[in-house]
Structure 1
Amino acid sequence: MNVLWRNALLLYATSHVLFMAHCFEEDGVPEEWMLLHVVEGQIGAGNYSYLRLNHEGKIILEMESPKGDADLYVSAVTLHPSFDEYELQSTTCGQDIIVVPSYFQRPVGIGIYGHPSHMESEFEIKVYHDRTVQTNPFSEASYDSEEREANQRKQNKPQDAPPEEESILWTILMMILKVVLESLF
C-alpha cells in the first residue's frame, strides 16, 4: 500500500513539474503573455489579504513566496474567497499559478492566505493577460457550462491516460496531498 501512495505522490510531483516546464519557456513567460501588474506584500499566519481583478480575458496569476508560504484562492462568486469558498486554488509550497478563464464574471475576487506554518509570509503576484485568446462574446455565449468544462478537461489531460484512469489517479493524488498536508501542519 505504501508503494501505491509513494508512486501516486511521485506521479503528482512529476506532472506538476511537467506542467510548469510547459507553461514557462527558458526566458520566463510566453511572448503571448502581457504583464499587467506586479503586487508585492506580506501576510501573517492564518490571515487573508484580498485583491480584485477587473481585467477581461484570460488572466494568469503567478505567485512566488520568497519567505513563508502564501496560497491563492480565486472566485467569480465572492470578492473574499477562502479555503472554504473558492472556484480556483493553488496551495503549493512553491510557485502558485492560477489561470482565470475569460468567461469568469468580473470582478474576480483573489484571496491570499498566509499559511500557519510560518509566522509571516511574503508574496509577489504577477498578473498576465494571455493575448492568444480571442474574446468573442458570441462564441462564449454559445457554450453551456458543461461543454466548457468538458473542453477544459480534454485540453488538460495527458493523451496517453484513459479518462477513467486519470480521474481515479487525480482523486487518489488529491487525497494523498490532503493527508500529507494535514499530517505536516
Structure 2
Amino acid sequence: MTGVAMMPCFGVLSLLVLLSQVQGFFQTSEEVTVPEEWVLLHVVQGHIGAGNYSYLRLNHDGRIVLHMRSLKGDADLYVSDKTLRPDFDTYKLQSVTCGYDVVVVPGDFVRPVGIGIYGHPSYLESEFEMKVYYDQTALTDDPFEKDAYSSEGSQGHPKYTQPNSEEEIEEEESILWTILIGILKIILEILF
C-alpha cells in the first residue's frame, strides 16, 4: 500500500519540478541587451486605456529600432509610413506580443513615421516603456550584400543579427506550449 500511496506523491513532486523548469522558458529577462552600434534616442513611458490608442511621430532618419515593454497590462505596437495614426487595420509593421514588442523601422520608410500604441482590451489599463534606438550598423552595411556574413575579418560570425520575427516567436511559444501540454497529459495519466 505504501508503494501505491507514494506514486501520486512522486508524480506531484515531479510535476512541480517540471513546471519550475518550464517556467524558465517563458520568462523574459528584465534587460534586453542591444548591440553597441545602437544609439538610444528616446525613452517614452506612458499609460493607455483598454481598447484605446496613443500615437507618436518618428521624424529621425535611418534604421530605427523600437523596443517596447509592457510594464503592466499588454500594449501592442503598430507602425506605418502611410498614416500617422496606424491601427490594427492600417499598418505596415506590427508587434503584438505579451511582453517585449520590437519593430525595426527601415531607413527607406518615408518620414514622418506614425507609431500607434494600442492598449489590449483584456486589461483596463496598460503601462509601457518604449526605447527608440538609431541603428548605426545600417551605415556600414553593404546594401548589395545578400547575407549577414563578411569574408573579411569576421571569420564567419554574423556582423549583426536581427531580433526574432513575430512568426519565429509565436512558433517557439507554440512548440513550448505543445511540449508542456504533452507532459501534463502524461503526468495526469500516471496519477489517475
For the criterion TM > 0.5, the same-fold answer is: yes
Partner of 1:87: 92
Partner of 2:135: 130
Aligned ranges 1:143-182 → 2 under 5 Å: none
TM-score (normalizing by structure 2)? 0.58
Distance in 2 (alpha carbons) for counterparts of 1:133 and 1:90: 21
Deviation at 1:135, TM superposition (A): 8.4
Distance in 1 (alpha carbons) for counterparts of 2:32 and 2:128: 22
Distance in 1 (alpha carbons) for counterparts of 2:32 and 2:104: 20
2:71 to 59, 62, 66: 66
Q: Which is greater in Rg?
A: 2
2:83 to 78, 101, 106: 78
Higher-helix-fraction structure? 1
1:48 matched to 2:53? The reply is: yes
1:28 to 26, 33, 50: 33
TM-score (normalizing by structure 1)? 0.61
* Number of equivalenced pairs: 128
Partner of 2:121: 116
Deviations 1:25-62 (A, max 9, x none): x9821100000000000000000000000000000000
Deviation at 1:132, TM superposition (A): 1.1
Structure 2 gap ranges (5+) = 1-24, 149-166, 175-192
Identity across the alignment (%): 64
Runs of 4+ in structure 1 deviating by more than 3 angstroms, as ranges, are none
Structure 1 gap ranges (5+) = 1-16, 144-150, 156-169, 178-185
Deviations 1:103-160 (A, max 9, x none): 0000000000000000000000000000111289xx98xx9xxxxxxx6xx77xxxxx
Deviations 1:54-110 (A, max 9, x none): 000000000001100000000000000000000000000010000000000000000
1:105 matched to 2:110? The reply is: yes
Q: Letter of the aligned partner of 1:40 in structure 2?
A: Q
The 8 Å contact of residues 57 and 135 in structure 1, kept in 2 or not, is answered as no
Q: Letter of the aligned partner of 1:106 in structure 2?
A: R
State the superposition RMSD in angstroms.
3.2
Distance in 2 (alpha carbons) for counterparts of 1:135 and 1:106: 21
